Amino acid sequence: MLRFISHSFNGIDNLAIWPTLGFVLLFSFFIGVLVWVFTVDHRHLDQMARTPLNDTPGNEEL
């Protein structure tokens, strides 16, 4: 089975670029999330964390 799959991929040019591209996209997303975590307003995050608990009517702080 593996021989069939590897034989199918032999005819595709530039196949090695896809793992590299996937790594670059994943790494970029990870760095973007880290930047967002360190630059987000923490008061906003605290307010969003309490939102499900604020179920009293007329308590719309958003």
Over residues 32-61, the pLDDT tens digits come to 999 999 999 989 888 888 877 666 665 555
- The number of beta carbons lying within 10 Å of the beta carbon of residue 49 is 9
State yes or no: pLDDT of 12 exceeds 90: no
Rounded CA-CA distance 47/55 in Å is: 13
Give me the DSSP letters along 3-55: HHHHHHHTT-TTTTHHHHHHHHHHHHHHHHHHHHHHHS-HHHHHHHHHGGG--
Say which residue, 29 or 9, is predicted with more confidence. 29
Q: What predicted TM-score, i.e. pTM, was given to this entire model? A: 0.54
Rounded CA-CA distance 51/16 in Å is: 47
